[in-house]
Structure 1
Amino acid sequence: MLTTLALTVFRANGALIAAGDLLTAPFGLSSARWQVMGAVALAGLPLTVPQIARNMGLTRQAVQRLIDELARQGMIAVEDNPHHKRSRLVRLTVPGENAYAAIIDRWNGLASELATDMDAAQMEAAIGSLSQLIAELGANRPSARSA
Protein backbone atom coordinates (compact mmCIF):
# COMPACT_ATOMS: atom_id res chain seq x y z
CA MET A 1 0.00 0.00 0.00
CA LEU A 2 2.83 2.40 0.86
CA THR A 3 4.45 1.75 -2.51
CA THR A 4 1.21 2.71 -4.24
CA LEU A 5 1.05 5.88 -2.15
CA ALA A 6 4.66 6.74 -3.06
CA LEU A 7 4.03 6.18 -6.76
CA THR A 8 0.89 8.31 -6.58
CA VAL A 9 2.87 11.08 -4.85
CA PHE A 10 5.50 10.92 -7.61
CA ARG A 11 2.79 11.25 -10.28
CA ALA A 12 1.08 14.08 -8.36
CA ASN A 13 4.43 15.85 -7.98
CA GLY A 14 5.01 15.62 -11.72
CA ALA A 15 1.55 17.00 -12.43
CA LEU A 16 2.05 19.83 -9.92
CA ILE A 17 5.39 20.74 -11.47
CA ALA A 18 3.85 20.79 -14.95
CA ALA A 19 0.96 22.96 -13.74
CA GLY A 20 3.39 25.23 -11.90
CA ASP A 21 5.53 25.58 -15.00
CA LEU A 22 2.44 26.77 -16.92
CA LEU A 23 1.55 29.26 -14.17
CA THR A 24 5.08 30.66 -13.95
CA ALA A 25 6.01 30.70 -17.65
CA PRO A 26 4.52 34.18 -18.34
CA PHE A 27 6.96 35.53 -15.73
CA GLY A 28 10.00 33.77 -17.20
CA LEU A 29 10.10 31.40 -14.24
CA SER A 30 9.78 27.69 -13.54
CA SER A 31 8.15 25.76 -10.72
CA ALA A 32 11.56 25.25 -9.11
CA ARG A 33 12.32 28.98 -9.11
CA TRP A 34 8.82 29.77 -7.84
CA GLN A 35 9.32 27.30 -4.97
CA VAL A 36 12.56 28.99 -3.92
CA MET A 37 10.87 32.39 -4.11
CA GLY A 38 8.07 30.97 -1.97
CA ALA A 39 10.50 29.71 0.65
CA VAL A 40 11.89 33.24 0.99
CA ALA A 41 8.49 34.96 0.81
CA LEU A 42 6.86 32.67 3.38
CA ALA A 43 9.77 33.04 5.80
CA GLY A 44 9.02 36.75 6.07
CA LEU A 45 12.71 37.62 6.41
CA PRO A 46 15.86 37.10 4.36
CA LEU A 47 17.31 33.58 4.53
CA THR A 48 20.66 32.02 3.73
CA VAL A 49 20.97 29.42 0.98
CA PRO A 50 21.54 26.62 3.55
CA GLN A 51 18.37 27.69 5.42
CA ILE A 52 16.34 27.65 2.19
CA ALA A 53 17.78 24.24 1.29
CA ARG A 54 16.90 22.78 4.71
CA ASN A 55 13.37 24.23 4.60
CA MET A 56 12.78 22.79 1.14
CA GLY A 57 14.51 19.44 1.65
CA LEU A 58 16.94 20.16 -1.18
CA THR A 59 20.70 20.28 -1.46
CA ARG A 60 22.47 23.56 -0.92
CA GLN A 61 23.99 23.26 -4.40
CA ALA A 62 20.59 22.89 -6.08
CA VAL A 63 19.23 25.91 -4.24
CA GLN A 64 22.37 27.95 -5.02
CA ARG A 65 21.92 27.25 -8.74
CA LEU A 66 18.31 28.47 -8.56
CA ILE A 67 19.32 31.52 -6.51
CA ASP A 68 21.94 32.41 -9.14
CA GLU A 69 19.30 32.15 -11.89
CA LEU A 70 16.79 34.23 -9.93
CA ALA A 71 19.43 36.88 -9.20
CA ARG A 72 20.25 37.12 -12.93
CA GLN A 73 16.53 37.65 -13.57
CA GLY A 74 16.35 40.38 -10.92
CA MET A 75 13.83 38.43 -8.83
CA ILE A 76 16.00 38.12 -5.74
CA ALA A 77 18.87 40.05 -4.21
CA VAL A 78 21.75 38.57 -2.25
CA GLU A 79 23.09 40.71 0.57
CA ASP A 80 25.85 40.56 3.14
CA ASN A 81 24.95 38.70 6.32
CA PRO A 82 26.09 40.50 9.48
CA HIS A 83 26.11 37.16 11.33
CA HIS A 84 28.12 35.13 8.80
CA LYS A 85 30.71 36.34 6.30
CA ARG A 86 30.31 33.57 3.73
CA SER A 87 26.60 32.74 3.99
CA ARG A 88 24.85 35.67 2.39
CA LEU A 89 21.18 36.55 2.85
CA VAL A 90 18.59 36.12 0.09
CA ARG A 91 15.53 38.35 -0.23
CA LEU A 92 12.94 39.02 -2.91
CA THR A 93 13.30 42.22 -4.91
CA VAL A 94 10.25 44.36 -5.70
CA PRO A 95 9.93 42.71 -9.14
CA GLY A 96 10.31 39.33 -7.40
CA GLU A 97 7.60 40.19 -4.86
CA ASN A 98 5.30 41.34 -7.67
CA ALA A 99 5.90 38.21 -9.76
CA TYR A 100 5.46 35.96 -6.73
CA ALA A 101 2.17 37.67 -5.76
CA ALA A 102 0.85 37.39 -9.32
CA ILE A 103 1.75 33.70 -9.52
CA ILE A 104 0.11 33.06 -6.13
CA ASP A 105 -3.06 34.73 -7.42
CA ARG A 106 -2.99 32.43 -10.46
CA TRP A 107 -2.32 29.40 -8.21
CA ASN A 108 -5.16 30.32 -5.84
CA GLY A 109 -7.56 30.41 -8.78
CA LEU A 110 -6.39 27.02 -10.01
CA ALA A 111 -6.44 25.54 -6.50
CA SER A 112 -10.00 26.74 -5.93
CA GLU A 113 -11.08 25.23 -9.22
CA LEU A 114 -9.36 21.90 -8.49
CA ALA A 115 -10.69 21.72 -4.92
CA THR A 116 -14.30 22.08 -6.06
CA ASP A 117 -14.62 18.35 -6.71
CA MET A 118 -12.42 17.21 -3.82
CA ASP A 119 -13.65 16.06 -0.40
CA ALA A 120 -12.21 18.13 2.48
CA ALA A 121 -12.03 15.14 4.86
CA GLN A 122 -10.10 13.11 2.28
CA MET A 123 -7.68 15.98 1.73
CA GLU A 124 -7.12 16.26 5.51
CA ALA A 125 -6.48 12.52 5.70
CA ALA A 126 -4.03 12.73 2.79
CA ILE A 127 -2.20 15.63 4.46
CA GLY A 128 -1.95 13.62 7.67
CA SER A 129 -0.64 10.53 5.90
CA LEU A 130 1.92 12.47 3.90
CA SER A 131 3.06 14.41 6.98
CA GLN A 132 3.56 11.12 8.82
CA LEU A 133 5.50 9.70 5.87
CA ILE A 134 7.73 12.79 5.78
CA ALA A 135 8.39 12.49 9.51
CA GLU A 136 9.18 8.78 9.26
CA LEU A 137 11.51 9.27 6.33
CA GLY A 138 13.25 12.10 8.18
CA ALA A 139 13.71 9.95 11.28
CA ASN A 140 14.74 6.82 9.38
CA ARG A 141 16.72 8.09 6.42
CA PRO A 142 17.01 5.10 4.09
CA SER A 143 20.54 4.31 2.97
CA ALA A 144 21.40 3.82 -0.67
CA ARG A 145 22.05 0.12 0.07
CA SER A 146 18.53 -0.50 1.32
CA ALA A 147 16.87 1.18 -1.65
Structure 2
Amino acid sequence: SPVPLPVAHIARNMGLARQSVQRIVNLLADRGLVRFEINPHHQRAKLVVLTQEGRAAARAAEDRQRPWARDVAAALGPERVAAALEVLTQMELLLEGAAGTRDEDIREGARV
Protein backbone atom coordinates (compact mmCIF):
# COMPACT_ATOMS: atom_id res chain seq x y z
CA SER A 1 0.00 0.00 0.00
CA PRO A 2 1.29 3.49 -0.72
CA VAL A 3 -0.05 4.48 2.70
CA PRO A 4 1.23 2.78 5.88
CA LEU A 5 -1.47 0.51 7.32
CA PRO A 6 -1.72 -1.96 10.20
CA VAL A 7 -1.83 -5.64 9.27
CA ALA A 8 -5.51 -5.88 10.28
CA HIS A 9 -6.45 -3.17 7.75
CA ILE A 10 -4.41 -4.81 5.00
CA ALA A 11 -6.12 -8.13 5.73
CA ARG A 12 -9.57 -6.52 5.71
CA ASN A 13 -8.85 -4.76 2.40
CA MET A 14 -7.74 -8.06 0.87
CA GLY A 15 -10.52 -10.14 2.40
CA LEU A 16 -8.01 -12.38 4.18
CA ALA A 17 -7.44 -13.54 7.74
CA ARG A 18 -5.20 -11.23 9.77
CA GLN A 19 -2.99 -14.15 10.83
CA SER A 20 -2.30 -15.12 7.21
CA VAL A 21 -1.37 -11.57 6.28
CA GLN A 22 0.80 -11.26 9.41
CA ARG A 23 2.83 -14.31 8.36
CA ILE A 24 3.42 -12.87 4.89
CA VAL A 25 4.26 -9.41 6.25
CA ASN A 26 6.77 -10.98 8.65
CA LEU A 27 8.44 -12.77 5.72
CA LEU A 28 8.54 -9.52 3.75
CA ALA A 29 10.09 -7.77 6.76
CA ASP A 30 12.71 -10.53 7.07
CA ARG A 31 13.63 -9.86 3.43
CA GLY A 32 13.80 -6.10 3.96
CA LEU A 33 10.81 -5.31 1.74
CA VAL A 34 8.69 -3.79 4.53
CA ARG A 35 9.38 -2.37 7.97
CA PHE A 36 7.19 -1.69 10.98
CA GLU A 37 6.59 1.78 12.37
CA ILE A 38 4.83 2.99 15.49
CA ASN A 39 1.14 3.65 14.95
CA PRO A 40 0.19 6.90 16.69
CA HIS A 41 -3.45 5.73 16.84
CA HIS A 42 -2.83 2.26 18.27
CA GLN A 43 0.36 1.31 20.11
CA ARG A 44 0.08 -2.45 19.57
CA ALA A 45 -0.95 -2.35 15.90
CA LYS A 46 2.27 -1.33 14.17
CA LEU A 47 2.09 0.21 10.70
CA VAL A 48 3.48 -1.73 7.75
CA VAL A 49 5.60 0.48 5.48
CA LEU A 50 7.24 -0.46 2.19
CA THR A 51 10.99 0.04 2.21
CA GLN A 52 12.83 1.44 -0.79
CA GLU A 53 13.61 -2.17 -1.78
CA GLY A 54 9.94 -3.07 -1.34
CA ARG A 55 8.82 -0.22 -3.59
CA ALA A 56 11.35 -1.30 -6.22
CA ALA A 57 10.12 -4.92 -6.02
CA ALA A 58 6.48 -3.80 -6.33
CA ARG A 59 7.33 -1.65 -9.38
CA ALA A 60 9.23 -4.55 -10.96
CA ALA A 61 6.26 -6.90 -10.41
CA GLU A 62 3.87 -4.36 -11.94
CA ASP A 63 6.22 -3.85 -14.90
CA ARG A 64 6.32 -7.61 -15.55
CA GLN A 65 2.55 -8.03 -15.12
CA ARG A 66 1.44 -5.08 -17.25
CA PRO A 67 2.38 -6.48 -20.72
CA TRP A 68 0.73 -9.87 -20.29
CA ALA A 69 -2.37 -8.34 -18.70
CA ARG A 70 -2.62 -5.96 -21.67
CA ASP A 71 -2.13 -8.88 -24.10
CA VAL A 72 -4.80 -11.00 -22.41
CA ALA A 73 -7.26 -8.08 -22.39
CA ALA A 74 -6.55 -7.38 -26.06
CA ALA A 75 -7.01 -11.06 -27.00
CA LEU A 76 -10.32 -11.29 -25.16
CA GLY A 77 -11.70 -7.93 -26.27
CA PRO A 78 -13.45 -5.29 -24.19
CA GLU A 79 -16.86 -7.01 -24.13
CA ARG A 80 -15.51 -10.30 -22.76
CA VAL A 81 -13.29 -8.50 -20.23
CA ALA A 82 -16.34 -6.50 -19.04
CA ALA A 83 -18.41 -9.71 -18.80
CA ALA A 84 -15.65 -11.45 -16.84
CA LEU A 85 -15.37 -8.49 -14.49
CA GLU A 86 -19.13 -8.56 -13.93
CA VAL A 87 -19.10 -12.29 -13.12
CA LEU A 88 -16.12 -11.93 -10.77
CA THR A 89 -17.77 -8.98 -9.02
CA GLN A 90 -20.97 -11.00 -8.52
CA MET A 91 -18.95 -13.94 -7.20
CA GLU A 92 -17.14 -11.65 -4.77
CA LEU A 93 -20.44 -10.31 -3.43
CA LEU A 94 -21.86 -13.82 -3.05
CA LEU A 95 -18.74 -15.06 -1.29
CA GLU A 96 -18.65 -12.05 1.02
CA GLY A 97 -22.29 -12.73 1.90
CA ALA A 98 -21.53 -16.39 2.58
CA ALA A 99 -18.53 -15.44 4.72
CA GLY A 100 -20.65 -12.93 6.64
CA THR A 101 -23.30 -15.57 7.29
CA ARG A 102 -20.63 -18.02 8.45
CA ASP A 103 -19.12 -15.38 10.75
CA GLU A 104 -22.57 -14.66 12.22
CA ASP A 105 -23.17 -18.39 12.77
CA ILE A 106 -19.84 -18.71 14.56
CA ARG A 107 -20.56 -15.68 16.77
CA GLU A 108 -23.95 -17.17 17.65
CA GLY A 109 -22.37 -20.53 18.47
CA ALA A 110 -23.94 -22.47 15.59
CA ARG A 111 -22.04 -25.30 13.95
CA VAL A 112 -20.84 -24.67 10.41
The normalised TM-score by structure 1 is 0.65
| CA displacement 1:8-39 (0-9 Å, x = unmatched) | xxxxxxxxxxxxxxxxxxxxxxxxxxxxxxxx
Give the Cα–Cα distance (whole angstroms) in 1 for the partners of residues 33 and 67 of structure 2. Answer: 23
Q: Structure 2 counterpart of 1:73, which letter?
A: R
1:39-50 alignment to 2 at 5 Å?
Answer: 40=1, 44-50=2-8
For the residue of structure 2 that corresponds to 1:67, the secondary structure is helix
Is 1:88 matched with 2:46?
A: yes
Give the Cα–Cα distance (whole angstroms) in 1 for the partners of residues 26 and 91 of structure 2. Answer: 32
* Structure 1: runs of 5+ lacking an equivalent: 1-39
Give the Cα–Cα distance (whole angstroms) in 2 for the partners of residues 128 and 102 of structure 1. Answer: 29
Q: Structure 2 counterpart of 1:132, which letter?
A: Q
Is 1:61 matched with 2:19?
A: yes
Q: Structure 1 counterpart of 2:80, which letter?
A: Q
Give the Cα–Cα distance (whole angstroms) in 2 for the partners of residues 89 and 66 of structure 1. Answer: 14
Report deviation, 1:103: 1.1
* Structure 2: runs of 5+ lacking an equivalent: 103-110
| CA displacement 1:46-105 (0-9 Å, x = unmatched) | 010000001111111100000100001000011110000110000100011011101100
Q: Structure 2 counterpart of 1:134, which letter?
A: E
Is 1:104 matched with 2:29?
A: no
Output the aligned Cα RMSD. Answer: 1.5
Give the Cα–Cα distance (whole angstroms) in 1 for the partners of residues 85 and 67 of structure 2. Answer: 21
Q: Percent identity?
A: 39
1:105-120 alignment to 2 at 5 Å?
Answer: 105-120=63-78
Larger Rg: 2
* Aligned match of 2:96: 138
The normalised TM-score by structure 2 is 0.84
Report deviation, 1:129: 1.7
* Aligned match of 1:125: 83
- For the Cα contact (< 8 Å) 2:6–2:48, is it kept in 1? yes
